[in-house]
Amino acid sequence: MALVLQSEQVDWLTRDTLIEFESSPGKLRSFCRDCGSPVYSRREDLPATFRLRAGLFANLPKPETFTQGYRNSAWPWADELFALTASNQELSL
Protein backbone atom coordinates (compact mmCIF):
# COMPACT_ATOMS: atom_id res chain seq x y z
CA MET A 1 0.00 0.00 0.00
CA ALA A 2 1.29 3.45 -0.83
CA LEU A 3 0.30 6.95 0.19
CA VAL A 4 0.21 9.35 -2.73
CA LEU A 5 1.33 12.73 -1.40
CA GLN A 6 2.52 16.00 -2.87
CA SER A 7 5.93 17.29 -1.80
CA GLU A 8 4.39 20.10 0.26
CA GLN A 9 2.57 17.44 2.34
CA VAL A 10 5.82 15.67 3.28
CA ASP A 11 8.05 16.99 6.06
CA TRP A 12 11.33 15.10 5.72
CA LEU A 13 13.36 14.93 8.92
CA THR A 14 16.34 13.80 6.88
CA ARG A 15 17.03 12.24 3.50
CA ASP A 16 20.70 11.56 4.17
CA THR A 17 20.33 7.77 4.06
CA LEU A 18 18.07 7.60 0.98
CA ILE A 19 19.31 6.43 -2.38
CA GLU A 20 17.22 7.15 -5.47
CA PHE A 21 17.64 5.29 -8.74
CA GLU A 22 15.81 5.02 -12.04
CA SER A 23 14.16 1.59 -12.06
CA SER A 24 12.66 2.06 -15.53
CA PRO A 25 12.59 5.04 -17.90
CA GLY A 26 11.06 7.96 -16.01
CA LYS A 27 10.37 5.94 -12.81
CA LEU A 28 12.48 6.71 -9.74
CA ARG A 29 12.59 4.58 -6.60
CA SER A 30 14.13 5.38 -3.25
CA PHE A 31 15.53 2.97 -0.65
CA CYS A 32 17.23 3.40 2.70
CA ARG A 33 20.92 2.78 2.13
CA ASP A 34 21.29 1.45 5.71
CA CYS A 35 18.49 -1.13 5.91
CA GLY A 36 17.29 -1.49 2.30
CA SER A 37 13.66 -0.58 3.02
CA PRO A 38 11.77 0.91 0.08
CA VAL A 39 10.69 4.46 0.98
CA TYR A 40 9.01 6.03 -2.04
CA SER A 41 8.68 6.07 -5.78
CA ARG A 42 8.01 8.97 -8.10
CA ARG A 43 7.90 9.78 -11.79
CA GLU A 44 10.13 12.29 -13.54
CA ASP A 45 7.11 13.85 -15.26
CA LEU A 46 5.45 14.36 -11.81
CA PRO A 47 8.46 15.24 -9.63
CA ALA A 48 6.40 16.66 -6.74
CA THR A 49 4.21 13.53 -6.35
CA PHE A 50 5.55 10.85 -4.01
CA ARG A 51 4.19 7.34 -3.47
CA LEU A 52 5.35 6.68 0.10
CA ARG A 53 5.30 3.09 1.36
CA ALA A 54 2.58 2.90 4.01
CA GLY A 55 4.42 0.20 5.96
CA LEU A 56 6.90 2.82 7.16
CA PHE A 57 4.31 4.46 9.41
CA ALA A 58 3.50 2.97 12.81
CA ASN A 59 0.31 5.00 13.40
CA LEU A 60 -1.15 5.62 10.00
CA PRO A 61 -4.61 7.22 10.12
CA LYS A 62 -7.28 5.76 7.86
CA PRO A 63 -7.12 7.40 4.42
CA GLU A 64 -10.16 9.35 3.26
CA THR A 65 -10.24 7.45 -0.03
CA PHE A 66 -8.93 4.13 -1.30
CA THR A 67 -8.11 3.24 -4.89
CA GLN A 68 -6.62 0.21 -6.58
CA GLY A 69 -4.40 0.52 -9.58
CA TYR A 70 -3.77 -2.11 -12.24
CA ARG A 71 -6.77 -4.12 -10.99
CA ASN A 72 -7.19 -6.03 -14.24
CA SER A 73 -3.72 -7.54 -13.77
CA ALA A 74 -4.45 -8.88 -10.26
CA TRP A 75 -4.15 -12.59 -9.57
CA PRO A 76 -7.50 -14.33 -10.06
CA TRP A 77 -7.57 -15.31 -6.36
CA ALA A 78 -6.67 -11.86 -4.94
CA ASP A 79 -10.24 -11.04 -3.82
CA GLU A 80 -10.21 -14.12 -1.57
CA LEU A 81 -7.61 -12.46 0.66
CA PHE A 82 -10.22 -10.08 2.07
CA ALA A 83 -12.30 -13.01 3.36
CA LEU A 84 -9.44 -14.55 5.37
CA THR A 85 -9.57 -14.66 9.15
CA ALA A 86 -7.14 -12.15 10.64
CA SER A 87 -4.74 -13.03 13.45
CA ASN A 88 -2.61 -10.92 15.76
CA GLN A 89 -0.28 -13.85 16.45
CA GLU A 90 2.81 -14.81 14.52
CA LEU A 91 1.98 -17.39 11.88
CA SER A 92 4.17 -20.43 11.43
CA LEU A 93 4.80 -21.42 7.86
Structure confidence by residue, pLDDT tens digits, 3-31: 888 999 888 888 889 999 999 999 999 99
Q: Is the pLDDT reported for residue 68 higher than 80?
A: no
Residues 6+ apart with CB under 8 A from 37: 31, 53, 56
pLDDT at 69: 77
Q: Does domain 1-56 have CATH number 2.170.150.70?
A: yes
Extents of the domains making up the chain: 1-56
pTM exceeding 0.85:
no
Question: pLDDT tens for residues 38-50?
Answer: 999 999 999 999 9
Mean pLDDT value across the chain:
87
**pLDDT at site 82:** 77
